[in-house]
Homo-oligomer: A and B are copies of this chain.
């Protein structure tokens, strides 16, 4: 993989979209989340509006369930979500028509087609004409209650365990952690039901959440992500399907969607 990346032209990389990238600032550091407005336009807009209202500042990571998710929001309901933002039509899927998915060569039991949309793992069903982002490690989704329209982007989670693909098409996925997932995945697990913390003092405070474009350029984290619609990425997928490293005795000849790495690097590395 290192070999393939070294040989990649500069055009195989793209910068993160700084208008749609969140910095979740925790005491231990920054988690960089790239949003995917094309795959959940209203929900992403809602979350971004809440960020610009400083809704998340001072809230906390309230739930860390092992092999599942780390979730943040307003456990004590101290903040008001503006009335017009309270309920949103769910965006569990979007029309396949406008979505260009670079397909993987392998089949997946959770969807007829799987691949990548602009660097985000995704799936689609030509029969229903729908596409959706997949719950891979680092996926960021929108917590909701039982009602499908109850997720408004004020409570978010990141996947920190084995890909919970059963959530696909049941939750609006808004993006993916591009850097700093380990600041969430290494947090102490919550001891109450579903990984919620039993005591408020156990929660991890959120210093702030900002959009990248709100910060001075020098304060931003400048990252590039490998374009997933390039020959470089195709070569990388094949190198992972059949590992040629000397260590491997039995290459798998297959790769599942969530095992495909999407390389990220500091800009001008």
24 A-B interface contacts by CB (under 8 A):
A66-B182, A66-B185, A66-B186, A67-B137, A67-B138, A92-B249, A92-B250, A109-B256, A110-B256, A136-B162, A137-B161, A137-B162, A161-B161, A164-B259, A166-B243, A166-B248, A169-B249, A169-B250, A170-B247, A170-B250, A186-B186, A186-B187, A186-B188, A186-B189
User: In whole angstroms, how far apart are the Cα atoms of A252 and B247 in the complex?
Assistant: 36
Per assembly, the copies of the chain total 2
Partner of A165, one of B107, B169, B256: B256
User: In whole angstroms, how far apart are the Cα atoms of A160 and B188 in the complex?
Assistant: 14
Q: Taking beta carbons and an 8 Å cutoff, which residues of A are in contact with B?
A: 64, 66-67, 90, 92, 106-110, 136-138, 146, 148, 161-166, 168-170, 181-182, 185-189, 240, 243, 246-252, 254-256, 258-259
Partner of A109, one of B107, B163, B188, B248: B107
Q: How far is the CB of A185 from chain B (nearest CB, A)?
A: 6
Does A109 contact B106, Cβ atoms closer than 8 Å?
yes
Provide the residues of chain B in CB contact with A247, threshold 8 Å: 146, 170
Provide the residues of chain B in CB contact with A165, threshold 8 Å: 252, 256, 259
User: In whole angstroms, how far apart are the Cα atoms of A1 and B106 in the complex?
Assistant: 31
Partner of A146, one of B106, B164, B243, B246: B246
Does A170 contact B248, Cβ atoms closer than 8 Å?
yes
Provide the residues of chain B in CB contact with A164, threshold 8 Å: 259
Partner of A148, one of B138, B249, B259: B249
Chain B residue nearest to A136 in the complex (CB):
B162
Does A110 contact B258, Cβ atoms closer than 8 Å?
no
Provide the residues of chain B in CB contact with A137, threshold 8 Å: 67, 161-162
Chain B residue nearest to A162 in the complex (CB):
B137
Provide the residues of chain B in CB contact with A138, threshold 8 Å: 67
Chain B residue nearest to A258 in the complex (CB):
B162
Provide the residues of chain B in CB contact with A166, threshold 8 Å: 240, 243, 248, 251-252, 255, 259
User: In whole angstroms, how far apart are the Cα atoms of A255 and B164 in the complex?
Assistant: 10
Q: How far is the CB of A156 from chain B (nearest CB, A)?
A: 17
Q: How far is the CB of A190 from chain B (nearest CB, A)?
A: 10
User: In whole angstroms, how far apart are the Cα atoms of A166 and B252 in the complex?
Assistant: 6
User: In whole angstroms, how far apart are the Cα atoms of A170 and B250 in the complex?
Assistant: 6
Indicate the member of A64, A162, A185 with the most B CB atoms within 10 Å.
Answer: A162
